[in-house]
Amino acid sequence: MKLISKAKDFIQNKNEFFKKTTNHSMNSVFLLSENEIEEAHFNLFIDGKSTFLDVGLKLRKDQKIELFLPWKSESPEDLFNIIKKQEVLCALFNQHLKINSSTGSNQYITADLGAKKFDVVCAKVNKENINYDTYTKFTIERPSTATSDIAYLRLRFKGTKSNFFNKCHTGSDAAVSPVKESIEVIDFRINEVRSVYWEEFPTNIQNTPGIKKLHFFLLKSYREVNTLANPSYHRCRELEDKPWETYLPNRDDDDATLAYHWKSENEILEKGHYAILATFNKKQTSITKVIIYICIIILISWFSCYIFEWSKPYLPFLNQPNDLSHNESSPIKELNVLPPQEKSVNSHNIK
């Protein structure tokens, strides 16, 4: 019985160990495939209220991609019904695309980009929670109904761990300053092999595939000022109202959204991984603290008046009159005030 009890304790301690090591070891998104990935899009949206990650992939025929997210993720939302609209699709690719077929029952459309053609499809997704539910594996395929060589799909993943992609740092005077100043650090990594333990993955992650084209978009409020970007972003623009209102959920009309765009075409092929670090400075006035400071000033003023009135009987000099004319020793009495010079001159002239 003691041996069985020790074995149970050993297994439980081992499970707890793997949970802790996995939580701290893996902080990268992984895209794994037996073949090169034609193109990958990542859109990270962080606004303080919600965080979600959109993943867009271009797949060739019979290609299967394994996506690993380092948190227990919900089932993704397929964005096909949103991006099948021409104005949204053109906004996503920032190019003029022509849709030349309807969806029908096959749930795909064909888009033309000049001489190039690709299908926009609904994805076939299989979800699997792995390693004590500390990260999630998604097996993604294109439907067999797609006819073009390249098919594009887009998924939205929610339920990220708190402060996983971003961490906020505040100054030491944040508790007393009426203006809260914070620095937010965004750290996004793709296929960062050194951040995981090999035995934790049910696949061969040592051979990460090349990604021919990679685009990363970070969507932030214009109120947050970018202070550092490594590597430097390619461009930054304000999102257009009409198409992006359809694409982004619960968008604040009073807050402009800026899209910071990074892209890479060679580094992923050479190194096999990609990382982006960006910092944003944000200042926010705390109305509560301002009201508290006003109340404190009023209380100090009232308390000082009360102390002054209370101390009058004990401090006689506070009861002396303030009018210097009633003071015998006042220097004013000692002054000989001469009459105006003009009057003296006039008196002399009369005589």
CATH number of the domain to which 243 belongs: 2.60.40
* Token pair for 100: 């030349």
Check residue 58 and give its pLDDT: 92
* Span of 1-5, 157-161, 281-285 with lowest mean pLDDT: 1-5
**Residue 88 and residue 227 in one domain:** yes
Lowest mean pLDDT among 85-89, 142-146, 155-159, 299-303: 142-146
**Residue 104 predicted with pLDDT over 90:** no
**Degrees to nearest 5, angle at CA 18 with 14 and 20:** 115
- Asked if residue 259 has pLDDT above 80, the reply is yes
Give the whole-angstrom CA distance, residue 34 versus residue 53.
24
Q: Is residue 5 assigned to a domain?
A: no
- What pTM does this model have? 0.72
pLDDT band at 278 (very low <50, low <70, confident <90, very high): very high
Secondary structure element (H or E) that encloses residue 172, with its range: none
User: How high is the pLDDT of residue 19?
Assistant: 45
Domain shared by 219 and 304, yes or no: no
Least confident of 93-97, 194-198, 201-205, 249-253: 201-205
Q: pLDDT band for position 162 (50/70/90)?
A: low
Number of independent structural domains in the chain: 2
With 70 as the cut, is the pLDDT of residue 225 above it? yes
Interval 62-72 mean pLDDT: 86
Confidence of residue 11 (pLDDT cuts 50, 70, 90): very low
Same domain for 196 and 158, yes or no, is yes
In a shared domain, residues 129 and 261: yes
Are both 147 and 130 inside the same structural domain? yes
Domain check: are 91 and 175 in the same one?
yes
Please state, rounded to an integer, the average pLDDT across all residues of the chain.
76
Check pLDDT > 80 for residue 14: no
Position 335 in a domain? no
Same domain, 96 and 145: yes
CB atoms within 10 A of CB 313: 9
- H or E stretch at 19: helix 2-25
Contact criterion met (CB below 8 Å) for 68 and 137: yes
Which residues constitute the domain of residue 73? 17-285
